[in-house]
Structure 1
Amino acid sequence: MSGSSPVEVAWFGALCDDDYEFLGVADPELASSWEHCRDITLAADGHGFDNILLPSGYTLGIDATAFAAGVAPLTSRIQLLLAVRMGELWLPQLARQLATVDRMLHGRLTVNIISSDIPGETLESAPRYRRTLEWMQVLRTLLDGRPVDFHGEFVTLTLDPPRATTTSGRCPPFYFGGFSEAAKETAAAAADVFLTWPDTVAGVADTVADMKARSERHGRTLRFGLRSHVIVRATSAEARAAADRLVSRLDDRTGAAIRGRSLDAASAGVQRQAELRETSDADGYAEENLWTGIGRARSGAGAAIVGSGEEVRAKLEAYRRVGIDAFILSGYPHLPECERVGNLVLPHLDHAPLVRS
């Protein structure tokens, strides 16, 4: 795969009850649990994925931080991308938790910053992102092992760093996604990796160019990641048939109810996913190998790369050429699709865990 450095390929931990054989049809055996999510994580580790996203939810699923601490000693090489909701925990406590989990992983922790509403509270987008920015700044300071003397709109804290530090003594990379103006500016100012959702290759290129310019205005450099579903089979026809089967028992009312349960159901990013569905062809394809059918029953990343192993690799290569160097992939059900991607896609990619400088 082209690029100046190895690409990072991650899988999805499905801690938020987002696992199905038939999209929209609940299956108790696929509901998030310690056992099920552990098995997904260990399968991704065994198949050579570089990272795994552990999503955070309140209404759905199990706690991501507790899960990360439990699964950390069972893993061998994979990084954990732990989702953390800004504002939900007291900052000094959060810093100690993250440092401890990183120690348990021998330095393999990465952090997915979430700016959604805290459960039980609603805050307008602009102030919510101002709060997120303050939390990111203070959290990075503490995890870098430096004292904090911060007096902002949402955070007032004067404190020495905790004795508990990360393995490296530095803050793990912050992954962050969002498509509103406030979200983009927050990412440009404080994130390390900007995550975008499925889009056309041209659409992703536009996002990368926009965010590069924004980060440069802040005197910073971002990496770029793409969060997407994937359906890969030995042939293109088999992959398209698997996509059709996935939504074969889904009705529009159930799909709308599932989308509406998410805390980010009205976000700018979700609206863009809806636009992709509306402009796709009769079979739901926005462009070659980019299928929007998953978005009928999922808020957030609402499209999948669909095709043979060669076609999926080619699509990842196309995104790579426009600036993406990290992919967070998922597929339904997550365990068998993890195996398929591990067998049909990963062996042909130039990928390895990225060493922190």
Structure 2
Amino acid sequence: MTESLQSPAEPLKFAYWVPNVSGGLVVSTIEQRTDWGYDYNKTLARLAEDNGFEYALSQVRYIASYGAAYQHESTSISLAIALATERLKVIAAVHPGLWQPGVLAKLVASADVMTGGRMAINVVSGWFKDEFTKLGEPWLEHGERYRRSEEFIRYVREIWTSEHAEFGGDFYRLHDFDLKPKPVEVPGRPHPEIFMGGNSTDARGMGGRVADWYFMNGNTPEGIQEQIRDVSDVAQVHGRTVRFGVNGFVVARDTEAEARDVLREIIDKADREAVEGFGSAVKQAGQSTGDKKGMWQDSEFADLVQYNDGFRTGLIGTPEQIAERMLEYKRRGANLILCGFLHYHEDVEYFGRHVLPVVREMEAAELERVHA
């Protein structure tokens, strides 16, 4: 078996969850000085790119659910954020089944031209049945959702890179199509990057076969390493390489006690009804897999208060503790940390001022040891 280990010479990359959905990044009644509106997010994007963040991931919700009453659509706010910044790369989460892939590919290609090559997509196979059925779209069985997503990715990649695009699948077809304008030609990037996530066997196989990046829910370093190994094994068979991102909720404070107190308050003030409703919905999605292996299947109540298991990554404590934890994920093969925060403006600035410099110092020291 192969293992895709992160090179010590390559710095960790950082992304942040765009709070384009109301309610913040934790399902809790704790005060969150975070807003879902555009003006707040425009300021946040500029802060983020000035504090070490390379990517911004816009989540996708279509209807009010589990504490998220309002939502800005992901592709539109991603483009708006990119146009408000100079360097930040934006990732828009998109659902096959709710997007026709050629239309989505056209939108992203145009947005990529407008932003100088800073657009990407995160293909989400879907866990929330109501978003499909209330829009009049069929809800597919788990494996079929991933099969559709794989075709979606192959179609989009083909239309972005071919002058006479052809694709024939069970869900999508493409006939001698020449998309113009094509996305921007960026060195080392043949087309806008394609992210996806998951934990199931279906997701791991799909990630190895077609994804550029594979996002993982929060987990221990050992749990992350296992997923990286599985996806990399599939990728190797297909002559590919995949890069990996880990979700984590960051509570960085001057002392560990302060950080732990914040985490305790978040969980103590959890919106129990919303957390339990979310937990029931996502566990149902994973239990529909053949091997009962999927995202959130071993998540406990406290884990689900941060809806991508961000607490499990353990980025709670002092800047030094968090930096060391991040480097442990890098040693296991992670290329990127996807961060959520409680009070975004303040916490992103604190991250850039106090956490990121320690990460870079530790990376430099580790590189020196490797070459000693």
Alignment TM class, shorter chain as reference:
0.7 to 0.9
Q: CA 1:314/1:273 → structure 2, altered by over 3 Å: closer, same or farther?
A: farther
Partner AA of 2:307 in structure 1: S
Q: Within 1, Cα distance between the matches of 2:269 and 2:150?
A: 42
Task: State which of 334, 340, 344 in structure 1 corresponds to 2:344.
Answer: 334
Q: Deviation of residue 328 (structure 1)?
A: 0.7
The partner residue of 1:14 within 14, 19, 29 is 19
Report how many aligned residue pairs link the two structures.
332
> Alignment partner for residue 300 of structure 1, among 295, 308, 318?
308
Secondary structure, aligned partner of 2:268: coil
Deviations 1:31-64 (A, max 9, x none): 5222232232222122221111111111141101
Q: Secondary structure of 1:175's partner?
A: strand
Q: Distance in 2 between matches of 1:29 and 1:343?
A: 19
Q: CA deviation at 1:30?
A: 4.1
In the alignment, the residues of structure 2 paired with residue 83 and residue 253 of structure 1 have an alpha-carbon distance, to the nearest angstrom, of 26
1:3 paired with 2:20, answer: no
How many angstroms does 1:269 deviate by? Answer: 4.1
Amino acid at match of 1:157: L
8 Å contact from structure 2 (residues 163, 179) kept in 1: no
Q: When the two structures are superposed, what TM-score results if normalisation uses the length of structure 1?
A: 0.85
1:159 aligns with 2:176: yes
2:285 aligns with one of 266, 273, 297: 266
SS of the equivalent of 1:210 reads helix
User: What one-letter code is carried by the residue in structure 2 that aligns with 1:236?
Assistant: E
Rate the CA distance shift 1:265–1:229 in 2: closer, same or farther, 3 A. Answer: farther
Q: 1:347 to 1:28 in 2, by over 3 A?
A: closer
Structure 1 CA distance for aligned equivalents of residues 338 and 284 of structure 2: 20
Deviations 1:299-354 (A, max 9, x none): 33342511100000000000110101111111112222222212221223349xxx
Question: In the aligned structure 2, how far is the partner of 1:49 from the partner of 1:253?
Answer: 34
- Report the equivalent of 1:247: 267
Distance 2:281 2:297 in 1: 18
**Structure 2 unmatched ranges of 5 or more:** 1-5, 65-70, 287-292, 364-372
CA distance in 1, matches of 2:48, 2:197: 23
Change beyond 3 A, Cα 1:330–1:28:
closer
Contact 2:142 2:285 in 1 (8 A): no
Residue correspondence of structure 1 range 131-210 to structure 2 within 5 A: 131-168=148-185, 170-210=190-230
TM-aligned CA deviation for residue 296 of structure 1: 3.9
**1: CA distance between counterparts of 2:328 and 2:297?**
20
Offset at residue 251 of structure 1 (A): 5.2
User: Conserved in 1, the CA contact under 8 Å of 2:158 and 2:166?
Assistant: no
Contact 2:16 2:55 in 1 (8 A): yes
AA aligned to 1:111 is I
Give the letter aligned to residue 51 of structure 1: Y
Question: Which amino acid is 2:226 matched to?
Answer: D
1:119 and 2:132 matched: yes
User: Would the aligned equivalents of 1:189 and 1:215 in 2 still touch at CA under 8 Å?
Assistant: yes
* Root-mean-square deviation (Å): 2.5
